[in-house]
A and B are shown apart, each in its own frame.
Chain A
Amino acid sequence: MHPAISVIFFTVLSGAGYGFMAVLGLGVAMPEGPLAAFVISGIAGVLAVAGLLASTFHLGHPERALLAFSQWRTSWLSREGVLAVVTLVLFAIYVFIWMATGERYFFLGLLITIAATATVFATSMIYAQLKTVPHWHMRQTPLCYLLFAAASGVLLAAGLAPDGMIFTMPGSLLAMMELLIAWAVKVLWWQNAKKTTLAASGSTVETATGLGEIGKVRLLESPHSGESYLTKEMVHVIGRKHADKLRMIALVLGCVIPVLICLAVFLANTGSMWLLLAFGFLIAGLFAERWLFFAEAKHTVSLYY
């Protein structure tokens, strides 16, 4: 599949934004004062909104985007839109109360945690629902999205918390555990993705053409001599060449470096601000991870080419 930059930004950034909202909703202690509340919630809001805005660059008619809230009964994309906005509105109310009274309303917070989690889940289902792309149509796909959102959120929260503590745990330790779990699941996903080919899902050029009952099938002539929307969007192959290199880049930037920073902060028992740097590396690593998520995925349409 074609790895569109707008969609990569969308999934990574909004994942981080909603992940952070989910953590804030749990009531993790943050610096005192309305200004701090404003800045901290601003970070969550900006990440989420930047992600959502990036996704609209992908649209042919962004001016009609409101229509996308209408089909939540059947469409995961529509559900994602609705949940994203509901979460944002709840979060805005939460932040307003927080700034005005310094109080963080527990039940509202809990609701935000649930809604933000649901938003990230819906994002993942946009891809995981597609039977046409066996790579994505795996149980662990939503889990990967949720764990990465959680890792982003915990890392940010740990970096901003006054003494680097998340509840009674050192944030650095918690973030490190989160990162390791998320990447372990991702590595498992990569392993499974290798096995979850089109052929393994039962689709071959023989079933695609029905000609399998006669013999072995291969394409003799493409229907068009140049490119088409289909070949550009769904028969994209460029990315696969550098897949192994990118996987290393994703692991180093997104896992090794942030984990080492977390470890250093934990051992030194100070300097939790450095975790924000680790967050930066994680996001960079996730860009590479998400790029691969798209570039390596094979669509059934490729069987016709």
Chain B
Amino acid sequence: MTALPQSTKTKLGLVIDLDICVGCHACVVNCKEWNTSGYGAPLADSDPYGVEPIGAWLNRVHTFEVQPDHAPASIVHFPKSCLHCETAPCVTVCPTGASYKRSEDGIVLVDEDMCIGCGLCAWACPYGAREMDPAEKVMKKCTLCVDRIYNENIPEIDRTPACVRTCPANARHFGDFSDPESEVSVMVKERGGIDLMPEQGTNPVNKYLMPRPKTNPEMELDENFSLADLAKENTASAGGFLGWVDRALDRLG
């Protein structure tokens, strides 16, 4: 059913820490790796080794340059996958009922056997989180690794989304946002996690943590500071006979 649930028992989703992400694309690759052999049809590529490769991915990393008013520009790597929105517009537009939001945990999924590949849901998503599979012609999107997080056939430590599990920098975190004590909720509270494009009214579950403010070298260094001075040996505290020798030798030049 493409009607949205009134509320969901839990609110599973991701926190993505833009302060930490190093833009290595490991989550992108591991997401593809897991999902091409997991839920639904394989995640296809067409012309993978040719001149114009094109394929379906559920998670992509953009890289932006941010230019503050009075500081040097910085680079921010920006991973983006489905945000499992609470008022998901992609779900309500679906004519077939293939797209749905689960009332138990809020995960937004596509039933690939019901999808007619009309693409309207991808148009309705503001974030570009849905991509048509070039071979199967059905809509693909992040499943929040629903086939991992509840999977009792894999070790407990792996029961977390592939992208979260693989991130070498620990920039992605998975958890339940309906529990105010959960790791993700606390993180969002402490760091002021934000919604992407709140003006679209989608109420995303996934939250983003902004890069921490950079220290500004021009403002904090005093003019007489010299890095070379730090390397000089400091003998000011030497006392007694050695102190006397030190001062005597200094005087000699």
Contact = CB atoms under 8 A, between A and B. Distances in A.
A224 B60 contact: yes
Given A219-B63, A219-B64, A300-B126, A75 B199 contact: no
A292 interface: no
B212 to A, nearest CB: 10
A110 to B, nearest CB: 28
A180 B80 CA distance: 47
A168 interface: no
A203 interface: yes
Interface in B180-200: 194-200
Interface in A207-223: 207-211, 213-223
Contacts of B134: 229
A223 B211 contact: no
A208 B201 CA distance: 13
Contacts of A59: 116-118
A75 B92 contact: yes
A77 to B, nearest CB: 4
Query: SS class of chain B's interface: helix, strand, loop or mixed?
Result: loop
Nearest to A67: B96
Contacts of A209: 64, 76, 78, 196
A202 B208 CA distance: 19
Interface in B110-134: 114-120, 122-128, 131-132, 134
B128 A210 contact: no
Contact of B128 (A219, A226, A230): A230
Contact of A75 (B61, B94, B126, B210): B94
Given A64-B114, A71-B94, A207 B123 contact: no
A217 B64 contact: yes
B95 interface: yes
B125 A132 contact: yes
Interface in A124-150: 126, 129-133
Interface string B34-55: 0000000000000000001111
Contacts of B89: 130-132
Nearest to A65: B116
Interface in A61-99: 61-62, 64-65, 67-71, 73-78, 81
A234 B199 contact: no
Contacts of B124: 130, 132
Contacts of B3: 73-74
A239 B211 CA distance: 37
B64 A220 contact: yes
Interface in B123-147: 123-128, 131-132, 134, 136-138
B206 to A, nearest CB: 11
A83 B3 CA distance: 20
B67 A216 contact: yes
Contacts of B52: 226-227
Interface string B61-94: 1111111110101111010100000000101111
Nearest to B211: A214
Contact of A234 (B53, B78, B123): B123
Given A131-B201, A207-B199, A228 B54 contact: yes
Given A64-B114, A74-B3, A228-B131, A126 B138 contact: no
A261 interface: no
A233 interface: yes
Nearest to A76: B93
Contacts of A221: 62-63
Contact of A208 (B28, B60, B196): B196
26 contacts: A60-B115, A60-B136, A60-B137, A70-B95, A75-B93, A77-B93, A130-B93, A131-B201, A132-B200, A203-B126, A207-B199, A208-B126, A209-B64, A211-B66, A214-B68, A215-B71, A216-B68, A218-B65, A219-B63, A223-B60, A223-B62, A224-B57, A226-B53, A227-B52, A234-B122, A301-B127
Given A61-B138, A226-B52, A304-B128, 16 more contacts: A60-B137, A68-B95, A70-B97, A78-B96, A132-B89, A207-B199, A209-B196, A210-B196, A215-B73, A220-B64, A221-B62, A223-B62, A226-B54, A228-B60, A300-B127, A301-B126
Interface of B: 1-3, 18, 28, 52-57, 60-69, 71, 73-76, 78, 80, 89, 91-98, 114-120, 122-128, 131-132, 134, 136-138, 194-201, 208, 210-211
Give the top 3 A-B pairs by smallest Cβ distance, nearest first. A60-B117, A60-B137, A215-B68
